[in-house]
Amino acid sequence: MKYYGLLLLGIWLITRSLLELLNVHFSYDKIVLACIAIAAGVFLSTHELKEKLESIGILLLGIWLIIGAAIVLFKFTIPSSHLVMPILALLAGLLLIIRR
């Protein structure tokens, strides 16, 4: 599970950065990227839940990916998402760095 999640995350990161750097877009690029992010988040979150929450950082990253992609894909808003999403990303990043 973790392998597929990391593979999808890598594809998502590379694709998103190339689209931004080259300023290239295609029809439904946001939807495709959102679906890849959701799949990566689901795989990573599922793996971490199975491993009894060994790495809270990866779990938070998976949650962040799912919520962020769902906001883009389904065009809904979360109250205070302008604060919640960066804080969630910050916590995930810090925990990934210190390997908790």
What are the pLDDT digits (tens) for 22-44?
999 888 988 999 999 999 988 88
- What's residue 54's pLDDT? 57
Least confident of 5-14, 20-29, 89-98: 89-98
Alpha carbon separation from 24 to 14, 18, 28, 56, 60 (Å, rounded): 13, 8, 12, 35, 30
Enclosing domain of residue 46: 2-98
What are the pLDDT digits (tens) for 51-84?
655 578 888 889 989 998 988 898 888 888 888 8
- What's residue 99's pLDDT? 64
Picking from 44, 42, 54, 60, the residue whose alpha carbon sits closest to that of residue 3 is 44
- What's residue 81's pLDDT? 82
Name the pTM for this structure: 0.61
Inform me whether the pLDDT recorded for 93 exceeds 60.
yes
Q: Tell whether the torsion through CA atoms of 42, 96, 90 and 24 is positive or negative.
A: negative
Q: Which amino acid would we find at residue 38?
A: I
- What's residue 80's pLDDT? 84
Domain count, the chain: 1
